[in-house]
Chains A and B, each alone.
Chain A
Amino acid sequence: MLKKALYTLPITLAVASAFAAQAPEDVLDRLVTKSGNSAYLTQSPQNRMMMPDNPAFLVADDGEKLFKEKRGPKNASLEECDFGEGPGVLKGAYVELPRYFPDTGKVMDLESRLVHCMKTLQGFTNDDAPIKKRHGSDSDMMKLQTYIAIQSNGMPWNPPLSHPLERAMRDAGEVMFYRRAGKMDFACSTCHAATGLRIRASVLPNKDVPEEWTKAISWPAFRVGQDHVRSTQHRLLECLWQMRFPNIKPGSDASIALISFWTDAARGQPAILPDMKR
């Protein structure tokens, strides 16, 4: 057995190096070139250098174990979970979310679909820690999301818009993106509708520059300043916090409408998964 493993080592290495061409840092490098060295994409040389050692890979490894482990009151793994490409198919599933799922009648993002499977397949409830704890590298939710998402690294965002509800949610998300509200009259577009703008020292991504926007929406990402892997829903929450908006419910239709719109805005651009951000 060991001998056989040794024989296949060169092949394994060859495959690994072929995959290295698709490493997240390489996806980003190509976007940097294509964008003419976008100030947003190039703002942190340190982060770009650290990407091969992204702590998110370890979080994803934990996620793989959790995904395949029989857990919960129903003692089942998540290997039968359908993220839109069929039960258990993870490759390319994330870049085609959010999407409409006939079994729930809802447009769902990665997090809400994962929660759905943890409930239906494994029997967890909202009060159980694996579902309740949404944030932090040590949470089941982030481990699982990171594992699932990185199966789509380098693949183009392609959320389906064939179902009327997918289009309705995307279009409502667009209205929400430009809708000014809150104590300071902010909309998403206050910060994300022009190129090269900064809040203090942070360069902001422009929703209308797809090469920038794909990095902006490439979550899970390891946030160096927070020392945690963070999700799409967490990014939304932090934006809303800075905008002086009230709390948003994770997996709510309001959150998914915005995510539908912003994923559509990156359509065709390769996802950087896992990413590393400030």
Chain B
Amino acid sequence: MTATRQSIFARLRATPAVDWLIVRMREAPVLAYLVGMLAAVGLEIVAGRFIARALGLRGLPVLFGTIDVLEHFGNLDLSGILGPLFPATTETVVAPLAQSGAALIDQLLTFLSDIPPALLKLLQVTVYNLIVFGVPIVGLGVLLTQPAYWLMKRLPRWVGMLLQFAVLYAVVRLWGATNDYRGLVLMYIGINVILSVSLNLVNGYMGEFSVGHGGFMAVGAYVSAILTMWLFINEDVFGPALLPWVVNLPLGIGQGVGFVLALFIGGIASAVVSLLVAIPSFRTRGDYLAIVTLALNFIVLAAVNNMDSIGGARGLNGVPLWSNVAWVFVFAVLSVLAVHNLVTSTFGKGIIAIREDEIAADIMSVDTKRVKLVAFMFSSFLAGIAGGLFGHVLAYVNPGTFGILKSTEVLVMVYLGGMGSITGSIVAALIFTILLEALRPLGVLKWVFIPLILILLMIYRPQGLFGNREITLNLGFRGRKDEEPGERPDREVGDAALAD
């Protein structure tokens, strides 16, 4: 099965035209692709609806058509099958069984009848995605290769980086602008990027096993939400704002100042809570941290559930809607850069050394206790920030959101992307968030598919999508002398050279 599939790919790869394209695509720097994405998003805004109609779609495919395809299966209902098996009275067995069987056949027929329209839709959205995204991105990426190199070679390094982030932001912003729902998904993606990258620091780079990221998120969410409500706005829970003048600062910067302040304090609170866990846990190695972080997740939620002054189990209503795509983008980028800077510094390499061999790290002058604490607290700090952003998305925080399910989602993203790969975590956060949204039409069945995906992943690719490797981004700085000292991706090329 795999052999034939590989040979098809190999045959495709051997075609001169495809080979030419792949070589050109490898050559193209990130900036060229980003410009391509910008063009694609622009094209969608201008002609997306027209193209979609022409292809027979009802409207613009919201998340690359994933929802459009899966919504055909939306009327599957397995409760009709399991329900009769647990009758209220245990008088008969036969009738409920027959009922279940009938329901099963019924659902099977529904499923089968759903397949053809779903396949048609799949074809339609694939063509749509190719026209609107595939062609402009690949085409402009290849066409703009030389101009992009030309530009990147002449710009100072930081200007080049800033330019790329600016174009990326424009892409994100324009893509999200067509539809409110897209904006929401973008915010979830950004928040999930922060969460998965930060958990990867502990589970991937440090090799410890923390499973209670939801708990740290909850601390950040509640602390920052309480702060913004209590200090900056008038609402019903805490009454009039304590420091209303902050929000009234000139030029409209007040809200930003207040929000950032609240987020940071939320993050710091989360880091402080993590310290309480870390001090006893890091005395030993291994599963201990997993148990303690799991317990902490429950403790935090139990504490919140029992605090009536902040809403208890009902949740906290009236949180200002201060999160937006821009803020989430900024914090996601900063988090990624921060973790990247950390793990490429000598200080941060000490974290990886602890994973590889803790005794050797200790003997080679790494203050392992301190490094572990710093890494764990920093990870929790970022989780707290992500929680704060999350709390300000829906104007409502409630303890149920930050349960073990949330923690598991973050774990899944880390393992999907690969332990110790920042780019892996980012891609996984992107894929997983879209997947969660796309599977929404399936209702409860979503929670059958997601564990199934995880199981398949563990069987066929236990190291995650990217293992502990990074996708080497071709930033177009090639041939420049001012490469930073710490920034050497672990290249496989060197290993190949040794084998020669």
Do they bind each other? no
